Amino acid sequence: MPTHTPSRSTPSSRPAAAEAHPSPLVVADALSTLLRTTATEPRTDPQLEALTLAVAADLPVLLWGEPGIGKTAALTQLAATLDLPLTTVVASVHEPSDFSGLPVVGDDPAAQGVPMAPPDWAVRLVRAGRGLLFLDELSTAAPAVQAALLRLVLERRVGALRLPPDVRVVAAANPPSSAADGWELSPPLANRFVHLQWTHDHEVVVRGLGGTWPRATLPRLDPEKLPEAVDFARRAVCGLLSARPKLVHQLPSTETRRGGAWPSPRSWETALRLIAFATAASTSREVLSLLVRGAVGDGPGLELLASLDRMDLPDPEDLLADPAGAVLPERGDLRQAVLDGVVAAVRRHPDRSRWDAAWALLVRAVETGAPDLVVVPATTLATLRREDWDVPASIERLAGVVSLSRRADRAAARVAAVPAQAGR
């Protein structure tokens, strides 16, 4: 009976066979590498621009969003784009001493005290001299851990160690309703952050899954605008708070709202800093709105934005001096405010030439925008006429607009009165 003798491969033949037939894990790793290989492209993304501007301003940022929305991926991509080492710390799995420092007994505690030793991740950041500290799952951190994070977030201190100035702090959190054993943020911790609501854009997701994600870039600050930007920000915030002193500090009444953005002297200083950076970078209004409301809350933030709009309005006296060359705002609410301001200026200092200039300005407003915006200013301006002032010829161009508006108002009143009479 013939016997089978197994063939023996020579040592030199084994590497060749291995190269010809790589192991399944090697092939799997190669496929994973291809999937991880992506590109970036410049793309307008307001929430990403808001994040990068707050990071440039060296302000702690807190991203709020549902699980799986891409908060961690955004921070990873941001760190890679800015060439900053990323250090991720999951707050919920740490003890308070991991942030306040571990007591270490020295040779002579009575003379030297007991120093608080920092954790290894803080030491690595100090050695690197720069980096992005990512505090993940912040809403699952227990109250004691949140208390320990206060000095880290605001003062950048971990125990006895101070983090370098080039370390930025960004956190992420899920709403307590969708967080695992979630907690509401304590008011002192929440008031230290710029809160940004992180949502997904389906076009960004689809294009990113196709291999191209938006590129995060730091804002370009115009060096010549820096003094002007600081002055503008201070006038905006101080002007609003002078007119609305109750907005200086408003601790919300509910626990949920206390864990978000709300106005305090600290958060107003944050808003001032954001306005200065946004002005120097010529940031869009949408991005500025996200940042301001993320600092002081929606209500105060919207009031501040409205105050900023009014600061950009032209001076009524300049418009009265040259009505033919006046440039009026495009937005209807701002144009209305300008026209009302011009009429108020004439009322304060009534003069024939100023009255005529105001009519010329109203005519220009009709020619360059919605005619209905001049109805109220024209009616008020007509009541300011003195007996010896002749009616300017330009007023004839407004008569039709005012008459049509009044007829429309009377018609609307009649329509509204019909259901009321039918119900009797």
The residue ranges of every structural domain in the chain are: 41-103+115-214, 223-311, 316-422
Please, are residues 187 and 259 in contact by the beta-carbon 8 Å criterion?
Answer: yes
Question: What integer pLDDT is reported at residue 118 of this predicted model?
Answer: 83
Strand-strand pairing, 130-136 and 161-162? unpaired
The CATH architecture of the domain made up of 41-103+115-214 is: 3-Layer(aba) Sandwich (3.40)
Which two tokens mark 111? 């003379």
- Whether the per-residue pLDDT at 223 is higher than 90: the answer is yes
68 or 192, greater pLDDT: 192
pLDDT classification of 187: cutoffs 50, 70, 90: very high
Question: What integer pLDDT is reported at residue 113 of this predicted model?
Answer: 65
Mean pLDDT is highest, among 29-38, 294-303, 324-333, for 294-303
Share in percent of the chain as helix, strand, coil (round to 5) = 60, 10, 30
How many Cβ atoms are within 10 Å of 257's Cβ, its own excluded?
A: 15
- List the alpha helices (DSSP H) in 281-374: 285-296, 298-311, 316-321, 332-348, 352-368
Question: What integer pLDDT is reported at residue 389 of this predicted model?
Answer: 84
135: nearest Cα among 71, 179, 197, 78: 71
Please, are residues 144 and 35 in contact by the beta-carbon 8 Å criterion?
Answer: no
Exposure of 31 by Cβ count < 10 A (0-12 exposed, 13-18 middle, 19+ buried)? exposed
pLDDT classification of 411: cutoffs 50, 70, 90: very low
233 or 309, greater pLDDT: 233
Flag the least confident range among 121-130, 131-140, 402-411.
402-411
14 or 311, greater pLDDT: 311
CA 9 to chain centre: 67
For the chain, percent of residues with pLDDT exceeding 90: 35
Rounded to an integer, what distance in angstroms lies between the CA atom of residue 195 and that of residue 171?
10
Please, are residues 233 and 275 in contact by the beta-carbon 8 Å criterion?
Answer: yes
- Whether the per-residue pLDDT at 87 is higher than 80: the answer is yes
Reported pTM: 0.74
Flag the least confident range among 178-182, 187-191, 210-214, 419-423.
419-423
Exposure of 186 by Cβ count < 10 A (0-12 exposed, 13-18 middle, 19+ buried)? middle
How many Cβ atoms are within 10 Å of 129's Cβ, its own excluded?
A: 12
Provide the residue type at 329 as one letter: P
Cα 164–170–175 angle (5° rounding)? 155
